[in-house]
Every structure is written in structure tokens, then in C-alpha cells.
Chains A and B, each alone.
Chain A
Amino acid sequence: MSNRVEKTQPMNTLYQTEDLIGQLPGATALNQLKKNTTHILILANGFEDRANAFINKISGIPKYKATTVLIAKYTTNTNDNDQTYPKMMDGVNKICDNKPKTFDADDQQKVFLTINQAISKFEETNLLDVTVDISVSSDRLILAIMHSLLKSKYKINLSIIYHEAASYTPSKEEYLKNKEDCIKKVLSSDIQEKGVHPAFFSPLNHGLSKPEYSDFIIQIPTLKLERPFAALMDSDENFFNRSETSICWILGRPEEEHAWREELQKKSLKKGLESRDFENLFTEHNHYVCSTLDYQDTTKLLFKIIDESSRKNITLMPMGSKMQTIGASLVLSVRSECKVMLVKPKRFNKSAYTDGIGKAWMLSFELEKAKEILKKVGCYNIKLRGGKESDSLPSS
């Protein structure tokens, strides 16, 4: 037998992550909803102006109906949140005939169980429509909701709604006028969040570590640095002696009119690290920048970092933008070896938070399809003879 093989030999090559993630839906402007019904609507009760933007909109659509409404309630700023709650309920009562179920937004396990329970009531439904408004959802809540939906055995059409705020603190004018002062404000622990609770490992993403592997942190920080720093301090007894190769940072690049915040975040982070004697932990080689709106950007980058970090116990600290957190949740669904560390603030400073309602976005996932795509990342595209591609094992 000759060992010379014809040039027509099929090649089995790894799927390109870019191509796969490109098949996932992108965010589109929320002009019109695809459907006027949803089986499950998940809302969060927050104090920001944009908290009720979506419920106000859909309750104004004459025939809009939701069979079940789940409302996540935070344990922080309860008085502030209570002020927006009646308006939310007005809207909810217009679109849902059943009593909404409230649940603790800060307890990830409760979120998981509540969503599971709600979904199981639609056992007979072939394709479940779930709509989630993440406009005022915390990173903990987004991760728990996404985890519950991605783990579900039911076929789900997921619509994610996101309203930006009209303006953020500090404003562009303030920043351009006095950059140093703004950086100082960002670094001040009181500016937007007042104190933090001890960091905790997410019970939903507890990871799969191997004792002999070294630790590696992927930090997606918020602009406010108290929580990201708290997570770093609590992550490791020897954090004191960490090197720049044991951590990487994913910063945020906001769209158009908020793009200046990228510079503010980078400068604040560097300054914050310097003041804590950790200036060596941020280098040109260990940080990346991802869009705060295009979640695919974060998804692609996280896959790249994780898949290139063999023999490492990875801790992900996803505290960035809401869309970045969506991107992270998709990666976590197929990279269960990563554990997630989170930090809950004690209280928000309502007056120094966001104002108004900005652009509205929607993401529409067919979750089954999305899961299949995500599972392929890092796997081979098997080509049989004649260039035919085989997505899965042939059936017998």
C-alpha cells in the first residue's frame, strides 16, 4: 500500500470561534417586538429611570400578554426601589392576568429555583417564549437568569431587552473639564456604591479546579473599582504576591457618545492599582478592551483566553457592562471549569448613578441553536470525503 495520499484528503480543522460566534444574534434596536405574547417575562425592580421603561412600553401595547411575570427584588436600596415598584405593578397588571411572583435578586440559588419552577409549568409547550429586561439587572442576577435558561432542557426563544441610560456619572462634560478630578471621584469609594459585602464564589458557577494547577483571574471590572478590588483581595491569600501573568483585564469600550469612558476606566484602574501597590498587575500585555454593547466581542475574547489557559484554575470576575455579562454567561455555559467570583455592594448612591432613558436594544436567541453553536467552540469541524461537513455523529 502506498503511503502517498491524494491531495483530496479531507481536513479536520478546529472551528473558527469568530465564525461560530458570528452566527449568534447581534443586538438590534428595539423598535418593535416580534410577538405580542410571552410565556414568561422577567423584570427587575430598581431605582433608575430606565427601570420601568420596558414595562411601560409593553403595557401600552393593547394586546400584549405575558402568562407569568417574575420580578426580581434587590435587598439593597429597598426604599429607593419601592418608589418605582407601584408603577411597575400598574404595567404588570395590564399585561398579565396572574399574580406576579417576586424573588430575591441577590440570591443566585433562589433565582435558579424560581426560574426552573416557572419553566416547568410550561411542560406541555413546545417552544417557550421568555423575555428578560436586563436594563437594571445586576451582574449576579443576569448570570443567574442566563444560567437557569441555558441549563434548561426546554426549547426556549429568549428575548433580552436592554435600555441604556441617557447619561452616566460622571458626565462627559465633567470628565473633559477635569480628568484628574473625575478619576479621583471614580476611585472614591463613596461615589456610586457605598461599601461592599465580602466577595463570594457563585454557587451556580463553582468551577472544576485541579489542586496542582495555578490560579488565573479574568477580571471584567466596572468603572467603580471598589467591587473589583474587593474580589481580587478575597480571591487569594497570596494575592499580595501576584504577578501580571496570573491575571488579565477586560475593559469596556462604550458606543459612540459614551466612548470617552474607556479612557476614564483605564486611567482609574491604573491609578487605583498604583495606590494599592499593585501597579505591576496591569500591563499592555495583560489587558484587552471589549465593546460594552456587542456581547459577542466579550464572548469571543473569553473563549480565546480560557482555551489558551491550559493547566490553570480560572476565576472569572464578570462585573462589567450588562451586555458583557451576557457574553460571559454564554461562555460559562460551556466552560464549566471556570469559577465565578462576585461582590455585592452594600448600598448604591442613587443621586450619583444614571439618569434618563437612552437607546433600547433587543437580543433574540433561539437558545437550542445558540447552545449548539457554543458547544462547537474548540471542537473540530469534521469533514468527510467530498468536503461534506458533519455537524454531529451520523445516526445509525
Chain B
Amino acid sequence: MVSITENFKHWLKEDNSFPKDLVIDGKAYTILDRNEENGHVKIGNRIGTKGFVLKVKCDDKTSALKISIPSAYKNEEAPIKEKKLSSALSDYDVFIIPEVIGHIRIPELDEYFKQDDKFYCFILKWVDGTTLKNIIEHDSDLLSPENIQKHLEDILDAVATLALKKLKHDDLHLGNIMLVEQGTILKTKVIKIVDMGSLKCIDDTSSYGKRREDFYNFVAAVVHFRDALFKNRKLYVQHQQFIANIDQLIFKLNDDDGFRAFGDSIQGDDIYRGILKEVEGLSSDNLGNPKKLNNPFDALSAEHIPTNDILLKLFVHYDEFYTKLTSNTSLLMHGPRGCGKTMAFRYVSVNTQLSSISFGEELKKIPYFGVYIGCSQLQPYLSWINNVYSDDTSYYQKSVVTFFSLYLCTELVETFYNVSLNQEAQKFYEVKNTKTLTNFIFAKIQEQYQNSESIPELSTSSPIQHLKNILEKIKAEVYNSVLNKKDLPIILGDAFIPEVSLKAYGALNKSRKIAYLLDDYTFNRIPEKIQEALNKIVWFRSHYQQFSISSEKNSYSTKDYQGANYDDTREYDKVDFGSMIVAGDDNENHKSFIIDMMNHRFKSLGWKVKLEDLIGASKYRTHTSLLEFLKNHSGGSLDCYHGIDIISYLWSGDIALILQLLSKILKDISSDQEEKILPSKQHKAIKTFSETYERYIQNFHVYGKEMSSVAKSFGDYSHSALKNDGHMIRNLEFSLSTGEDIWALLKNTDPSAHGIAQELIKKTIFIELIDSKAKEENKAKTVRWQLKKMYYPAHNITFGKNHYLDIRNIDEFVCFLTKPNQFLDEKKRNKTNKNKTNKNQMELWK
């Protein structure tokens, strides 16, 4: 095979020297990109196997001069034949065909060739762009299902055109397919096929395989794109369905019987149309995400709900919570894990609502344009910065803010992109003009971007999508720089997000604020110092932007890195969702929420059953009736824990947990079941669940045994108080001066008791209620902890309260946490003695 030697290639790349002009057919072509002093021309990767390409200018027109090495053609006729062949394609813009053909002598090349060697050369249209090969190998972040599909359609069309003209390119790999921008106003990315030097006629005498070589290269292109997506794991995670669809296409393309593979799509004898139809269908979700749950207890946590569509169907709002969440002010909402924060935050985001069939009244209640930001996704990136660079304040601050800003901006742009695909949504959200927004972001990014390679110009065919890809790419660059503590390719300040929000607000016709729904903004996810670095952005107040934040109690910071404090009287509203549910004791509300939630699940599966029918009402609907029963019951089997009232009492705001319990009670039900589950069966399921749930505590490896002992002892103590005195004890209470902090006190007194206490609250074994002042004098408060209600059936206790465990001082608290058995036995003894004394005193009075 004739090809350029390694020596010559090296010369071309490193040591070349060319004259200023080359004369072809009497016309002088000036070589561009040439160093005037030494004649060196930057050729870059424009070196092929049989020649190279120079950028030249003649009569103000820039062209490509393709120079072939002398041995590339067998005879003088060959290049002329090539030009003649390619002229058949002159009507098709996709092919870059020679305009002029000639030959030249270049004395500078004499060292590598014979002196009388002629160099055949072709003048072609100059195209600015990059090859698809280059994108796949070095810029795969820029790939998307949409642009891959478009490129494949275009390549297939070009192959079909060649076949129609009875020609074959014969070297149609991705390195010979360029992606260039076309048009003046409506700039679009189109492919151009270059290097037509191997163009050949095909006739019926050619073997079938030889005739189809271009087609095989198309198949190879399909495979290369598929593998590029597969290797880029970020894209793989996002587009698994698309990859599965390409795999199916490859399977069909491998079939040696075209009719069998594409029979359904073939019109007449034209297999290309059949394949084109398959390619056009690549982006469709035909295998798709599951359209419904597999069973009523699938996806217990919001995170596991497979699609936004299902989430919309399953969402039931807890009124008080939802009203706050859909307000037009910045919000800090904290509550225990599993109380439905993620579900609600996902529900109010635009991306979820786009799955809605109609943009009706319910949606109008959401007054903002919600962009969901899950902190679990941000955590790994920001934690890295936190762990490694916490002693370099300047780098730390810059990298945290830049990464966070890019992340938010990408999510915002993606949301706008998703809206742009849905006309109904565009109308609903009054999307007016996204061009100003995208141009603004692009200009800002371009202005700040400091890498040697500039950002490619924004495509006008789908600028939002292109911008999203650019942002993703820069985000990855920022992270890579952070990994190796290199200068950041871009630095964005605190003002970037507010500026972007303002433009986005404008794009929505100023009808809705931009709301960033920052879910799980806890120290566990976003460390305290990072939160302080970000709080200037997060708590920035304006008429066009708000942040709604979900967190856990004592797991967020309200300070920023400059020490300013943001509080709930000015910057945001604070809502304690945990206390709202737990302390509310509003069982009717709980009941209707649980019934609604379960019935939504049944309905989403097309089941006719209703929870209230399957479970029925409880025999003991009030705390006192249950108390009476439990107090007086002796021996025999119990069946008191049954019915919807009891199930509602058991709920402490943890949605996944109540669904788990229901899954045990309703274990074997069918879609059309009419009979109620027997109370004894319900009781057994609830009791077993409660016992297992309590036993589970010991499995926590941090203070598991200690916490298990605290919960068990407290449950036993409560049971004994119920049996002996008819007391309902579910809380422990501890009086403190207003200025004192229980956590600081515990830490100073006994660090391990402090650790146990922290874990008890973190794992929601106890729930920390809002401090009370009801039984205190001035300047004092009561710290109140409630044992999670799910543990009560394990101890045969009731859900109400008429007494509490009184912790009188910090030493008692420490004792309760570290030696619960001993401490509570002592309490019981004291109580018995006190009862005896009281009894004696009563007898004295008699």
C-alpha cells in the first residue's frame, strides 16, 4: 500500500518549510498559517496516508489544497478520473469535491522524493470544523442521543446517495467526516464528507461485499458512537435506554438477511429507507422506563420512584407542609429522614411536572419555576474540596462557588431545554425568549474561561442543548483541576447565579421566580464549611430568585464565610416539619394522608381496592380505650393493634416506614380483594414488625447495642408504668435554663453519652420535639424527646400521654443514656416507694 513514510510525516509535522505561494494552473495560491521567517506551516492533523492538506488563499477565497504524494496515483489519468467521478456529486453539499486539479513541484520536498516527481493536487472548498473521530476520541462529553441520531441519519443519507450514483467513497471512516457549522443566521451543525480521493465506480460485476464497503463503514460509525457513549460513563448512566436501542440496531445490522432485519420498514427494494426509519426511532423510549410500579409497595422511598410520571401519580401532599413549600418566599424546611421531603421537592420541580399530561389548576398553585438540586449528587465533588483544600481559603472558596454555580446553572439550562421540547409547557410557563438567557450565560462563561482552547461557538440549531453540553464539559474540567489543585479553567463569583436567575426570570416573561429546590442540604451531604462558602448565594434575597432548602435539624449552617448570619426572620421562612407531624397529634389528618397515599398506589396499578376497606376501623380508636384494654389485659392473645386508627398513630412522619408496615399487613392481597384483613392477622403483622424494627437497632454499628438498650428499657419502663399506674409515657423531659444547650451540656459531661444521644436522634429512635415552656417558670425550657411510635407495639404500650419520664439533671440524663436499665429500675423503685409512702399516708388519714 502506498503511504506517507514516517520520516516524511515527521518532517510535515515538525520541520516542514514551504514557499509563500504555490502556482497551480497559472494561479498563485498563498499558503496560510505559515511562519514568514522559516516558512514553517502549521499542518496539525491534516496528514493522511497518501497526502496532506494546506490552507491556501487565492483571489480572497480560502481553499484547501490537497497534495498527494507522487506514488498515490498509478498514472496521470487517475486524478482526472477522480475529478470526473466526483462531479456526479456536485449537487450534494455533503461531499467536498475537488474544484481544480493540477500538479506542482515543491523543491523543499526533494529530500524525500525524486526530483522529477509530480505532486498531484486538488483545490477544494475549505471547511472549518472538526472530525467526528476527534469528537468521539477527545470530546465525547459533547455527544448526546439527539446529535448522534442526527449524524447517523446524515451519514446514512450520504451512503445512500453514493449508492444511488453507483459510487463508493471507499474510505468513509469517521476521520473523513467533518462536523461543520452552516448558515449565517440559523447556524446548524452538519456533516461534510472529505477525502474523496478513493472514490470509485461500483458496478454489478463488483462483489457484493466490495459494493457495500461504505455501508459497512456506516455500521462501524453506529458502533463507534455506541461505544463512545458506553465508555463515557456519565453519558452511559444518563442514556442507558438509547444505548439499548443502538444495541438492537447493531443486532439488526449484523443480520445477513436485510429483509428479516428491516422487513417491517422496507419500502420496495430500498433497505436504506428501512434502516433510516430505525435510526430515526433511536431516541424513542420504546423499551422505556417502567410506566408503573410492579406492586403497591415498590419504590418505598421517593428516590426509588422510577419516573417522574409515577411520582406525579403517587404524590399526596400533607397540607400544612405543602402550603409552606408552595409559597413564594425562600424556605428552610427541616424534618427527620424519610418524612417525604425529597418526594415533595421533586414533585414541585418543573422537570417532574413536565410529565404531566395537562398543565392544570393544581400546577398553578406552584408559583415558581422549580429547579431540583439533589445534594447527594453534589456531595462527592464538594466533599473533595472540603477534605483536601480546607487550609487554602482562597482556592477553597473559589472552587466551591464555581462548581456550585456551574452545577446550578447546568440544571437550570437543562430545565429550560426540557421545557423547550414541550409546546404546552412553553405556553404554561410563559417562556418568551430563551435566546437572551443562553447568550448571556454563554457570554459570561466565555468571558471567564481561561483555558488555552477556546469554547466552541454556540450552535444555533439547539443553543440550549449545546450550552448544556458546554456547561457539563466545563464542570468536568473544573473538577479535574480541583483533583490536581491546578488553576481553575473558570472562576465564577457569588453574583453569577443571581445574574443568571434574573435573565431566566426575564425569559419567563417575569411571571415566575426561579426557585432552586436544594434537597438534603445537611452536614452529612454538604459539610458545614462548604455551606458557609455557599450561603451568600443560597440566602440572597430578590424578587426573581428563591431557594427552598430541605435539611435536618441541627444539620445546616446559617452563617456565610464572612461571618454574616442569615436568619428566619428576614432571609427565609423556617418550618420544622418533623415537629409539625409528630407533635401535632392530629390523627385524622394522619389517617387521611396514609389512606390517600396507599390508595394512590393502588390506583396507579389499576387496582380497585381501598385501604380503608382492607384494614377497617380500629376497635380501640382512642388512647384511653387502648390504655384501658392494655392495662387490664392479662394472659391470652392480643389483637388490639389493628385498624386504620392504630396505623395512623404509629406514623411519626416517616413515609417509607409506614409503607413497609403496610406491606407486611397487606402481604398477600390481590388487586380485587374485597375481604378485610382479620384484626388478629393485622395485630400479628404490626407486633412482629415493631419487634423486628426494635431489634434492628442493635445492628447500627455506632452505639447500636447502647441505643438498643435505651429504647428497650424505655419501652419496658413505659409498659410497667401503664400496667402499674395506668400512665401513658412516651416522652422524656428535661428542664434547662433558656440559655443552656442540651448538646453542649452532654458533651461536656460525658462525650460517649453525647455520642449515644446524637445517634438516637439521628437514627430517629427518639424524636426531638420543640422545646416547651408549658410547665416552666421564666427563663427555663423543657427539652422533650419522644420514643418513635413504631416501637410501641413491641412493648404493648399506647400512643397517648399523661405522664413523662422526668430527667432531673444532666447526670441523670447521662445515666439514662449509658446505663438505661439501672437508671430506669431505680426510677421504678423510687416510684414504688413513693406510691407506698402515699398509700401509707392515705392510710394514716383514714
Contacts and interface: CB of A to CB of B under 8 A. Distances in A.
Interface of A: 1-13, 107, 109, 112-113, 116, 196, 198-199, 201, 203, 206-215, 226, 229-230, 233-234, 237-238, 240-241, 276-277, 310-311, 334-337, 339, 375, 378-380, 382, 384-385, 390, 393-396
Nearest to B163: A1
A335 B233 contact: yes
Given A7-B256, A396-B45, A233 B699 contact: yes
A164 to B, nearest CB: 29
A380 B227 contact: yes
B634 interface: no
Nearest to B376: A209
A201 B380 contact: yes
Contacts, number: 171
Contacts of A112: 483
B175 interface: yes
Given A201-B380, A206-B380, A382-B223, A196 B696 contact: no
A298 B215 CA distance: 39
A238 B701 contact: no
A107 B704 CA distance: 26
B701 A234 contact: yes
Interface residues of B, number: 85
B270 interface: yes
Interface string B656-669: 10001001000000
Contacts of A277: 692, 695-696
Interface stretch (B77-85, B302-310, B505-513, B812-820): B302-310
A5 B257 contact: yes
B92 interface: no
Interface string B282-319: 00000001000000000111011111100000000000
A203 B305 CA distance: 27
B558 interface: no
Contacts of B304: 212, 214-215
Most buried by B among A3, A203, A210: A3
B550 to A, nearest CB: 14
Interface string B192-218: 000100000000000111101100100
B667 to A, nearest CB: 13
A226 B377 CA distance: 28
B195 A5 contact: no
Contacts of A226: 701
A364 B69 CA distance: 44
B259 A3 contact: yes
B384 interface: yes
Most buried by B among A1, A277, A379, A385: A1
Given A4-B257, A380-B227, 17 more contacts: A6-B208, A198-B701, A203-B384, A206-B380, A208-B234, A212-B303, A214-B299, A233-B704, A240-B660, A277-B695, A336-B233, A336-B234, A337-B237, A379-B227, A385-B209, A393-B136, A396-B48
Given A1-B271, A7-B256, A382 B220 contact: yes
Contacts of B384: 109, 203
Interface string B231-263: 101101110100010000010011011110010
Contacts of B207: 6
Contacts of B374: 211
Nearest to B302: A211
A234 B376 CA distance: 15
B116 to A, nearest CB: 29
B230 A212 contact: no
A199 B387 CA distance: 16
Nearest to A394: B173
Interface in B737-781: none
B220 A233 contact: no
Contact of B300 (A201, A238, A385): A238
A396 B133 contact: yes
Nearest to B131: A396
Contacts of B484: 116
A208 B383 contact: no
B230 A378 contact: yes
B208 A211 contact: no
A384 B220 contact: yes
A10 B224 CA distance: 15
Contacts of B376: 209, 211
A208 B472 CA distance: 14
B139 to A, nearest CB: 13
A385 B206 CA distance: 14
B257 A237 contact: no
A10 B696 contact: no
A11 B236 contact: no
B778 to A, nearest CB: 40
A238 B656 contact: yes
Given A1-B163, A237-B338, A229 B701 contact: yes
B638 interface: no
A379 B231 contact: yes
A394 B175 contact: yes
B617 interface: no
B148 to A, nearest CB: 15
B106 interface: no
14 contacts: A3-B262, A3-B266, A12-B219, A109-B388, A203-B384, A206-B381, A211-B303, A212-B306, A230-B701, A237-B338, A237-B656, A276-B699, A379-B227, A393-B136
Interface string B446-471: 00000000000000000000000000
Contacts of A233: 699-701, 704
A10 B432 CA distance: 51
A16 to B, nearest CB: 15
B387 A203 contact: yes
B136 A5 contact: no
B264 interface: no
A233 B699 CA distance: 7
